[in-house]
Structure 1
Amino acid sequence: MTRVSDVFQKARDFERIPQLNAARAAGALPYFRVLEGPTLPVVHMEGADRIMLGSNNYLGLTGDERVKQGARDALERYGTGLTGSRFLNGTIGLHVELERELADWMGTEDALVFTTGHQANLGALGTILGPGDTVVADSGDHASILDGILLSQAKLRAFRHNRLDLFEKRLAAAERDGGGILVVVDGVYSMEGDVAPLPEIIEIAARHGARVMVDEAHALGVLGPRGAGASELFGVEDRVDLRMGTFSKSLASCGGVIAGSAEVIEYLRIASRPFIFTASAVPAAVGATLAAVRIARSPEGRELFARVLENAAYLRAGLIALGFQATGQSHLPDGTPIVTPVVPVTVGEDWKAVFLWKALYDAGVFVNVAIHPAVPPGGALLRTSVMATHDRPTLDRALEIFASAKRSFEAEHGPLPSAA
């Protein structure tokens, strides 16, 4: 008789489990830390105040009274949940308003709101693509993009992060595959903090007959004069076929959007399984998002965009002055540096990132840790990010803590990677 294996065995054999247990026993687990209040520049977390340098709340709007009122108003009008999908009973007037406003902001014919950002990529890619198509994607693309490609069963041809020479080779190979070709890149890469060179990518893609999709999750509400993302910053909005955005970063809520031509959005509206078979977001989330979009589109929004980028530049310069290897900066075609709210600090080995994180956490600064496989082996980093609402004294205090943590770490474990 054939022996049946236990499908749960992988849960016992997973290579990360011993590392997880060891880090937990040492009090050095950088994940699943418990917040005890709102995500503001200084948070209360596990019994202590800590400077928050690990949030995607780029415009600082999660604490804005207008955004909270938008959530309250939606809660009072529509209740706690919609108990059905957008396709059936889960669409409300706020969805229609939000989609209209997002399409106008992003300069597209139409837009479709999903319950989460992950589902937006999954729902778009898993529906538009098919087994006969090929996707050419940057190795730094978000996991939700890869999940959408897997769902579609399209062929994936990935190229090393921002390597345009390899990008063109993958496109040439994709032409030989037959079928449609879609290029998918992030506007701002969530771990690296740099941007895709969109003008060059679009030009090369056009030569090979490929469509282009840009994930603007970390760029929407940050880059460009209108805050409409990397596509706007580079002046290529009219040459990008499809754009994705999330509400859990600058827009202080939760959800996602796909924006593009009316025919593609209508197709997704009636054919995307992750859209059709997922319950609609709670009304409070939609109300909060709409309020945040309207702030971002107001004159105040431009002030917030400028402030978050000024804070990012200040933090980056301070970390470099302390000897840290703060990476991820990109440039416009004319050589102008592009600043994003994400300021990664390269540390090297996974264990170094974890112990440096703990030193910072214990001293009052929270940052994110990225270790393999989220980054290449030996490329572990601390991902710091800023908000428009951080003030200089808070950032200065954070830099003092970074300096102290670096001294104590290097005294015990040896040097960290240094600034170039």
Structure 2
Amino acid sequence: MQLLSDLEQQLNALDAQQLRRRRRIADTPCAPHVTVDGRKLLAFCSNDYLGLASHPRLVEALHEGATRYGVGSGASHLISGHSRAHALLEERLADFLSPHLEQARALYFCTGYMANLAVLTALTAPAGRDADLFSESLNHASLIDGARLSRARVQVYAHGDNAALEVLLKSSTAKTKVVVTDSVFSMDGDLAPLPALLGLCERYGAWLVVDDAHGFGVLGKYGRGALEHFRLRSPYLVYMGTLGKAAGVGGAFVAAHATVIEWLVQRARPYIYTTAAAPALAHALMTSVELISGHEGAIRRAHLQQLVGQLQAALHLQRWTLFPSQTAIQPVIIGRNDEALRASAALHEQGLWVPAIRPPTVPADTARLRITLSAAHTAADVTRVAEAINAVEAGVPA
């Protein structure tokens, strides 16, 4: 069958470029010490930044939610699937972000991918094709796909290049302008210059959509994310935070001015035409927000920052480069796909799970080890992985 033959050829081409991806099966809860494919490993690859994914209080809250609300929601939010658990979570998230958003309201989504598709397609919809969308060059795939699905004219500006963005904004005559950016870039760990971006958006009348997937719960004194970290507040902000990373459960939310959220309820197709997430998840997430914003969350964030500093001090690389990041994402840039794969395999042989990230997730010739730290790691864990990476670099041929 020619159709299958064509796909096999494409798969073989991925193999030749060391680009085929393979899944591993975890047999234990998300935590630093896991059993994967029957083998015990020390993992540095999850986005469970605060170590909440296996927290006993969240496990108890999820059980309580399932007992109270059942397992499934049964329908989309606008039919009959919007439960009291969803409503309470949205109210809590809106209150949590209210210091940074005027007349804040929040909307819960099944995934961050869906939330980003919803925001970008709905915000540009009123202007039709008379909308300009300005996208950061290192944005997440969900933002790229949301931009493609919108009817807007999409213009990509270089990473962190505020001057280039201002030129684009200044020359735009579109009825609707939207600037969209990650806050913490998922493969580099650096932060977008959000204060400068917001200033440009307010000056030129553009929405600023911030994907804070890797900042929510981690950044800021109370874990309110990038908006708290930079002390931002504006009606021009549209904020997306995921709830399956630092929050430890699943789903995502969009928070913005109440008018923006009401528009999403009425016109965001990824929200309208999908079954609502299980109410039990929303119920458990109420406990997540409590943990993030409370004393325990502060302790976990402080410990995480200590681990970041420890790792950076312990890595002594000669050929590879530790990317300058102050977040839990610590990338070691290697370059070639095959060398990155060999490095990851060598670490795996030592019981360390540190993934090799390759194109198209990252630009060509920037394959890397992506080390992600969690507040559930110990100082001994970090010492172990740092010493191993130092030794592997010396032993893996260029």
State TM-score, norm by structure 1: 0.88
The range that moved more, 365-374 or 90-99, is: 365-374
How many positions carry a matched residue from both structures? 391
- What is residue 60 of structure 2 aligned with on the other side? 69
- What is residue 162 of structure 1 aligned with on the other side? 160
CA apart distance, 1:369: 2.3
d(CA) in 1 for partners of 2:151, 2:66: 39
d(CA) in 1 for partners of 2:89, 2:22: 33
Superposition pairs of residues 13-162 of structure 1, within 5 angstroms: 13-14=9-10, 17-20=12-15, 31-107=22-98, 108=101, 109-130=104-125, 131-162=129-160
| Contact kept? 2:72, 2:279, Cα under 8 Å | yes
- Identity among equivalent positions (%) equals 30
The range that moved more, 262-271 or 312-321, is: 312-321
From 232, 240, 254, the counterpart of 2:228: 232
Deviation per CA, 1:327-347: give whole Å up to 9, x if none.
Answer: 143xxxxxxxxx211101101
| Contact kept? 1:115, 1:256, Cα under 8 Å | yes
d(CA) in 1 for partners of 2:27, 2:366: 31
CA apart distance, 1:124: 1.4
| Contact kept? 1:202, 1:239, Cα under 8 Å | no
Q: Secondary structure at the match of 1:265?
A: helix
RMSD: 2.1
- What is residue 356 of structure 1 aligned with on the other side? 343
2:386 aligned with 1:406 = no
The range that moved more, 60-69 or 371-380, is: 371-380
| Contact kept? 2:62, 2:281, Cα under 8 Å | yes
d(CA) in 2 for partners of 1:128, 1:341: 31
Deviation per CA, 1:237-294: give whole Å up to 9, x if none.
Answer: 3365210011110011110100001111011112211111111112332222221111
CA apart distance, 1:205: 2.6
Superposition pairs of residues 364-379 of structure 1, within 5 angstroms: 364-379=351-366
Q: Secondary structure at the match of 1:87?
A: helix
2:177 aligned with 1:186 = no
The range that moved more, 371-380 or 219-228, is: 371-380
Unaligned runs of 5+ in 1: 1-5, 330-338, 415-420
The range that moved more, 62-71 or 313-322, is: 313-322
Relative distance call for 1:23 and 1:163 in structure 2 (3 A) is closer
Q: Secondary structure at the match of 2:50?
A: coil
Provide runs of 4+ in structure 1 moved above 6 Å: 6-9
Superposition pairs of residues 255-404 of structure 1, within 5 angstroms: 255-320=251-316, 324-329=320-325, 339-404=326-391
CA apart distance, 1:13: 4.5
CA apart distance, 1:40: 0.7
d(CA) in 2 for partners of 1:42, 1:76: 30
| Contact kept? 1:30, 1:354, Cα under 8 Å | no
Unaligned runs of 5+ in 2: none
- What is residue 418 of structure 1 aligned with on the other side? none
Relative distance call for 1:248 and 1:73 in structure 2 (3 A) is same
State TM-score, norm by structure 2: 0.93
d(CA) in 2 for partners of 1:7, 1:133: 39
The range that moved more, 55-64 or 82-91, is: 82-91
- What is residue 334 of structure 1 aligned with on the other side? none
Relative distance call for 1:323 and 1:279 in structure 2 (3 A) is same
CA apart distance, 1:236: 1.2
